[in-house]
Amino acid sequence: MTQAPPDYPRTLGALRKSQFSEERLAARGVKDELRENLICRLQQKTPLFPGIVGYDDTVIPQVINAILSRHNFILLGLRGQAKTRLIRMLTNLLDEWTPYIAGSEIHDHPYRPISRPARDLIAETGDNAPIAWLHREDRYVEKLATPDVTIADMIGDLDPIKAARGGHELADELTIHYGLLPRANRGIFAMNELPDLAGKIQVGLFNIMQEGDVQIKGYPIRLPIDVLLVFTANPEDYTARGKIITPLKDRIGSEIRTHYPLALEQGIAITQQEAWTRRPSPVEIHIPRFIRETVEQLAFLAREEKKVDKRSGVSQRLPITVLENVVSNAERRALACGDGQAVPRVVDLYAALPSITGKIELEYEGELKGGDTVARELIRGAVGRVYNSYFEGVNVGQIVQWFDLGGSLRLDADLAAAAMVRELGAIQGLMEKVAALGLGVNESDALRASAAEFILEGLYAHRRISRSEELGFVAGEKPREAAPKEEGGRPRSRRQFN
């Protein structure tokens, strides 16, 4: 645990004479503290939530307003929208060190103690009452709401052992074993998935946060705790698993809606930040821009797809884990082939199907097709969209004609980069078009192979050419007149396609 600076006061008397005087701290609650520090950061233009991407103009201004208003608030949004990460970063707005009565289970304020043990200690020792210091990271308490959570967990319970050891009546306040909420006193209490909390526990929650009193085993206890309450919930949970009771909802000051990335660039930035791609490896890992865009477009398409349950949402974890799997498959291939560079290809997206199917909930129509088929359709659609952004207005007729003249290509997912470039080079006009993807003439074989395969997959996505398990890439299914053979026979290169 981080230790407070040694020159900080250690007794109540010394504290009164320090910068943490009674005049400064006595009436300053945790919400005032958050508000003051937030105002200071806004004036200094200090980043408030570094690493949170895509919320600058939507969610973060609303969180700022809630804190400035001294509101308890709830973040309402689908899974994978950084709700928990955002609320955990609220601790950055707390003072670095906060004094409390040493030994207090609920971190009693030195000038406004609320627990019986702390009040008795000050009454006995006066200015000699010991002071301890709490770091901002230790002032955050988080709980995942589940149906089995009890009042004892949240508020507290009577402890017969304390009563026996101290010779107290069972109804004495000194016999209380405090729950999570009192232990969060003078800090932030966060509860995830609030609707999963039983209704009677929610009643106890709003009673203590609003009136400051609670009954434990029939004994009324006064606990006016000082805490910022922050909740998260999934909108679907209101009907699927539970609900937030009206009195509690009425006492939550602000309801803030979160969302998935609104633009492809935001999604790419989040995935690049979170995915484990900068990994130690004996091969160099290089992820082309068009692959990053395809992985992110996959998530955007899944959120639009009718076969995918929109109420469940498509988490931002989908493109993160897909990109990690894609890179791993490319790394495996490079290690097996002895290539010095691992560059993901479209075929690696198909190898990453396990990281897609487990993260999408399907509607009835999707269930009939199967998760694997839906995922493959999403990959094809994502490649098609990204292909459009690079090749709109680019003439690829020579490539299509090569297949129309009878050419076919079976791709081996584990072929070395140099061998793959030689095979792809047999397709007239193909390697020339990789420049449209931003590649120069001196790019590595691994990168050129990835780009060329992407072009073929893009043509397949737009039905300019076809693909089958037996023949690989072949001419499209559109009707056409028989074309004359080229001199020297039809160009043909065959390899296995996975």
Residues 74-119 pLDDT 10s: 999 998 999 999 999 999 999 999 999 999 989 999 999 988 889 9
CA atoms within 13 A on the CB side of 66: 22
DSSP per residue, 248-309? HHHH--EEEE--S-SSHHHHHHHHHHHS--S---SSEE---HHHHHHHHHHHHHHHH-TTB-
Q: Determine the Cα–Cα distance for residues 296 and 271; give it in Å rounded to an integer.
A: 8
Q: Is the pLDDT of residue 1 over 70?
A: no
Helix (H) or strand (E) holding 326: helix 317-337
The two tokens of residue 113 are 């103690």
pLDDT of residue 176: 78
How large is the average pLDDT for residues 305-325? 93
CA atoms within 13 A on the CB side of 230: 26
Q: Is the pLDDT of residue 493 over 60?
A: no
The two tokens of residue 245 are 């009771």
Residues 376-404 pLDDT 10s: 999 999 999 999 999 998 999 999 999 99
DSSP helix, strand, coil percent of the chain (3-state; round to 5): 45, 15, 40
pTM for this entry: 0.86
pLDDT of residue 479: 46
Task: Specify whether the CB–CB gap between 191 and 143 falls below 8 A.
Answer: yes
Nearest residue to 30 via CA among 102, 94, 125: 94
Residues 430-444 pLDDT 10s: 999 999 999 987 899
Q: Determine the Cα–Cα distance for residues 371 and 403; give it in Å rounded to an integer.
A: 31
Q: Determine the Cα–Cα distance for residues 297 and 221; give it in Å rounded to an integer.
A: 55
Task: Specify whether the CB–CB gap between 382 and 356 falls below 8 A.
Answer: no
Q: Which domains does the chain have, with CATH numbers?
A: 12-257 (3.40.50.300), 264-475 (no CATH)
